[in-house]
Structure 1
């Protein structure tokens, strides 16, 4: 009898060791904001979304090509995602008129656009907005229109050694002061469009004119071209910002 009496506390202890915490106490351990950010909350957000994420796009894809890919569906907006060096990433977002259309458009998952098949994912709109906030497209405040134009693929990437077709480079001896476009040399290789716009934040630039140079391997060449609202504004930028630093490198500016 003594042995059974002695074993009773041990059995009680073992039982207590496997008792789970009441579910009612769990919210005290996890804040409501954290609960909302869990997988279930993200699924709910995606279920209500009108946005599809496109993966595997050809790097030269235009907005019109995406619209043609979704012919028969009402697409409100197409937004492209760029790498930090300004090159296309092959990712884009398409926002449809309704959630139902977005879900129907998923039937095109795996179809080809050009020579590449496209993967489609139904994602929360917040994912698209997060790309804008965190990516190279994060141009706040007064730069919002610039951001929208860049998102629509209006920024160009130029091969090394080529000047923009609209503003061909002329010999230095004959360059006048009536040009609205400047050539930028010495950019850090990791410089983003946002970095360049911030460098010229006190000047009136034409955002969609920004053209980044790349070498034969598609890597940043450290060159860019940017057009200003007037020749006077371009000249002022050259005079005031030439040889100023962006990051740890100074930039050489010249009219083209």
Structure 2
């Protein structure tokens, strides 16, 4: 479900976070995935064919509202295939910047056309970026998630942890912060110490049928879901995942909204 292949700058695409590779070397031509579909950049029959290796399809945003969500960024780039959104933090606070990885290199040109368009009352600057800048930001975020530069104050994190510890477990967990390219197999691998089936994993979608970055997982029993909380704030791809005790009612409501 993640990018595979090599990029024009010669890198092998391995992410700096050790938990998982976002991009894998393959002996075949460059393949990518977006919204559940695959494509091959150097297929001569493709409208997005390139001679040689394609550029890495990433742009950088600046001036985002501080309450900005992934859904806001997705709407800002409505019509484009978004593979990943990485918000940039400095000293534990959102900086108003983000990196957006797109499905095809040609979509970078369309994204640049939205430079200085508004998101709410803010106008957003959109720049071309590079693979190295994106992966440097990933490394910083992974370091933050491990405590190198806490993204929350110690008091706020302690409060959140206490609330999670005291919550009643029903066997259902809600996941937040998933990469948009993550699929059920990635979530099963994330919880590989537990017996899960694809039917027990529910990736939520918005009204346009796009992933929201959240999912619900049904465990065999409340004891398993409580034990799985040890994975809270661990990384999947470039993202650290937050886990919350949930319920069948919340699961049903979230699934029905995406239908």
Q: Name the TM tier (shorter chain).
A: 0.3 to 0.5
- Which is higher, the Rg of structure 1 or of structure 2? 1
TM-score (norm. length: structure 2): 0.39
Q: Which has the higher helix share?
A: 1
